[in-house]
Structure 1
Amino acid sequence: MNSSTRPCKVIVVCGSSSGVGKSTLVDRLSQLISNASALYFDAYQATTEFPPDLFEDLANGKDVDPKHIRSPLFYRDLCALREGRPVVDPWNREVTPGAYLIVEEPFGREREGMAELIDYIACIQLPMDIALARRLLRNLKQDFNHLPTEERIQFMESTLLQYLNGGRIAYQKLYELVAADCDLILDGLETTDEMALAVITDLKRRGILQDQG
């Protein structure tokens, strides 16, 4: 890192379950904050190593350490951006560094090495049933709308079975773990702009975000 370059501020949006609105809020914050870039955990999901029985263990009351959820490419690129070096993510999108880096990271400070890199965490709280409904609608209308109807129905069935067979409990436990060490809890029932305003206001109050003019 060039001696004249200071690490950017890393602002994380978390929330353990799919469908709470993490990516959408990261998008909006990166638009509203001057000289900000964005990094998405979703782009690195295929290269992330999860414990084989993560949901089952959580649902059965076993302790699960998020440090066992490893994503070396995500960590490498986050470090590079923080130090002012551009990266190309697994979706082949170039991410250029800025004064602020807005990051989608479901597990907050809990994964190995993350606490040292993060300056601020906003955690989205949303009832699990609403998150599930949003996820299924997104899958049907966007992610899998190219698939035959029968395949989409099968996907919905598997998702709902996972949710009923321990997924809901696992998501709740992960949320409680992550939320315990965050800086701001957001109401996921609010609009994206309302949540973004709450984050920006809190960042300014803490002196992390300078006057945007």
Structure 2
Amino acid sequence: MVKTKVITIASVSGGGKTAVTEELRKRLSTSEALYFDEYDFEGAPDDLVKWVEEGPDYNQWNLEPLKADLESFLEREEPPAYIIIDYPFSYKNDKLKDFIDLSIYIATPLDIAMARRILREHLKKTSIEINDELDYYLKFGRVAYLEMENAIKLNSDFIVAGTLKVIDIVDAILNKIETL
């Protein structure tokens, strides 16, 4: 019996986590995917900027619901060969770190990530609302992005350029998976 490989995909918001997770799921036979953003976690900070400024405690997030879903995949009579998790913390949360076989970080330049967020989330917003969002990012929010760059990227097993096309990112990840 082959052990299920758990692969996490991290990046800043707008960095390509979800697109890469979805494409990787399609290309890996017998795989399942979990998405961090689909959960409401007890203990999650209301203010991410304040959380980062105070010295982020990744264990503050109670990831029990995500862990339970991961364990349910692993406990199946025929578990998937791969579980891919769109998950921003790499090995930083104690509840999940022992499950992870490979932590991927998509290194997307912050300007590209911000442009993607604006295109994705602000289609019907006014230019004033978009301006306010960018102003907030520059004054406060950027510290959360830099935390990802400084803590999560360095804590990952494999770093891939977020400037590549999704298909090329997935190809690089698949090549890395072959070495597991």
Q: Aligned match of 1:9 in 5, 11, 21?
A: 5
Q: Distance in 2 between matches of 1:49 and 1:160?
A: 27
**More helix by percentage:** 2
The answer (yes or no) to whether the contact 2:41–2:65 under 8 Å persists in 1 is yes
The answer (yes or no) to whether the contact 2:5–2:83 under 8 Å persists in 1 is yes
Q: Distance in 2 between matches of 1:24 and 1:197?
A: 13
Number of residue equivalences: 179
**Equivalent residue number for residue 193 of structure 1:** 167
| 2:94 is the alignment partner of 1:99 | no
**Equivalent residue number for residue 63 of structure 1:** 55
Post-superposition CA distance 1:46-96 (Å, at most 9, x none): 3453224431342x4x321111122321221112112227xxxxxxxxxx9
Q: TM-score, normalised by structure 2?
A: 0.88
Say which SS state the counterpart of residue 178 (structure 2) adopts: helix
Paired residues for 1:1-213 under 5 Å: 8-15=4-11, 17-44=12-39, 46-47=40-41, 49-58=43-52, 60=53, 62-84=54-76, 97-141=79-123, 149=124, 152-153=125-126, 156-205=130-179, 208=180
How has the CA–CA distance of structure 1 residues 73 and 159 changed in structure 2, closer, same or farther, with 3 Å as cutoff?
A: farther
State the Cα RMSD in Å.
2.2
The answer (yes or no) to whether the contact 1:6–1:83 under 8 Å persists in 2 is no
Say which SS state the counterpart of residue 103 (structure 2) adopts: strand
The answer (yes or no) to whether the contact 1:7–1:83 under 8 Å persists in 2 is no
How has the CA–CA distance of structure 1 residues 25 and 66 changed in structure 2, closer, same or farther, with 3 Å as cutoff?
A: same
How has the CA–CA distance of structure 1 residues 29 and 156 changed in structure 2, closer, same or farther, with 3 Å as cutoff?
A: same
The answer (yes or no) to whether the contact 2:7–2:85 under 8 Å persists in 1 is yes
Cα drift, residue 7 of structure 1: 5.0
Q: Distance in 1 between matches of 2:97 and 2:121?
A: 32
Q: TM-score, normalised by structure 1?
A: 0.75
Q: Distance in 1 between matches of 2:136 and 2:79?
A: 38
Cα drift, residue 103 of structure 1: 0.9
